[in-house]
Amino acid sequence: MIIAMDVGNTNIKTGIYDDREMAQYVRFSTDMRKTSDEYGLMLLQFLALKGIGVEKIEAAVVSSVVPSINFTIEHMCRTYFNFEPLMVGPGIKTGLNIRYDNPREVGADRIACSVAAYELYGGPVIVIDFGTATTFNTVSQDGEFLGGAIMPGVKLSTEALVANAAKLPRIELVKPDMAINRTTVGNMQAGIIYGFAGAVDNLVFRIRSELGDPAAQAVATGGLARLISPESKTISRVNGSLALEGLRIIYERNRRPA
């Protein structure tokens, strides 16, 4: 069994893989104040709850967009599992040709999602990750990571709106029945959900145009993918575990023979 950890700005998404199947899944809050011992004990408690012995865990693969927490995660793996985790970064075999001006700038989560999408669905493919930021990642027919676009995330935009507009309340992110609403809450929900869906479609249309392929498939992932995707005219698939699946694939491509 291996541990796949996708360290994001908000959550650490963790999958326990038994061969190619995800056996268990858990999320922890990304908290720079937590120590390696705290993360280690939380993970051990989760494994014990699921009846998985520590001796069954043979490796870990990690993508992180929070550099300040990397040492904590590495130290946790060394202390509680007695191995060095595979950290996704420059020099790691991904199976993609990274066509980026500076490959070191690309978030490891974007690469992991792109690896999984290309492996599962082929190319060209556009991956939209609805996380703290909403990222658009483009992979060509030949497996080249071409880059994409980044826009504010749904929750981040909502929080910014509430924080900077004194009369606007915090709202639940649910889809209203109409775009024309007669309540402030309904107005905000319509603007956020339908507005984001329209922004996503516009970017996908432009990326398809630049690829020269109007049929390039668009795959959504991330926490709010299932909320926005039904209102999109371009998203054809939703896969909430793309990043973890990509990490598993990357681990397989870098695993040293016994």
pLDDT at 223 over 90: no
Within the chain, all domains assigned CATH 3.30.420.40 are found at 2-87, 97-246
Order the strands of the 144-152 sheet from edge to edge: 97-98, 144-152, 133-139, 125-130, 217-221, 235-238
Whether 88 contacts 145, CB under 8 Å? no
3 state SS of 128 = strand
Q: How far apart are CA 83 and CA 62, in angstroms?
A: 13
101 is catalytic: no
Tokens matching residue 156: 């981040």
- Average pLDDT of span 75-102: 93
pLDDT digits (tens, 9 = 90+) for 180-209: 999 999 999 999 999 999 999 999 999 999
Which CATH number does 97-246 carry? 3.30.420.40
Confidence band of 103 (pLDDT split at 50, 70, 90): confident
3 state SS of 26 = strand
Q: What is the pLDDT of residue 140?
A: 96
Q: How far apart are CA 13 and CA 180, in angstroms?
A: 37
Whether 63 contacts 108, CB under 8 Å? yes
Q: What is the 3-state secondary structure (H, E, C) of 69-118?
A: HHHHHHHHHHHHHCCCCEECCCCCCCCCEECCCCHHHCCHHHHHHHHHHH
pTM of the model: 0.92
Looking at the structure, give the CATH architecture of the domain made up of residues 2-87: 2-Layer Sandwich (3.30)
- Average pLDDT of span 155-178: 92
Q: At what angle do helices 154-164 and 184-211 cross, to 10 degrees?
A: 140
- Average pLDDT of span 236-257: 91
Cis preceding-peptide flag for 124 (omega within 30 of 0):
yes
Q: Which percentage of the chain shows pLDDT scores above 90?
A: 92
pLDDT at 91 over 90: no
- Average pLDDT of span 103-110: 91
Could you say which of 6, 19, 37, 109 is catalytic? 109
DSSP state of 3: E
pLDDT at 256 over 80: no
- Average pLDDT of span 203-226: 95
The pLDDT mean for the chain works out to: 94
Q: What is the pLDDT of residue 258?
A: 43
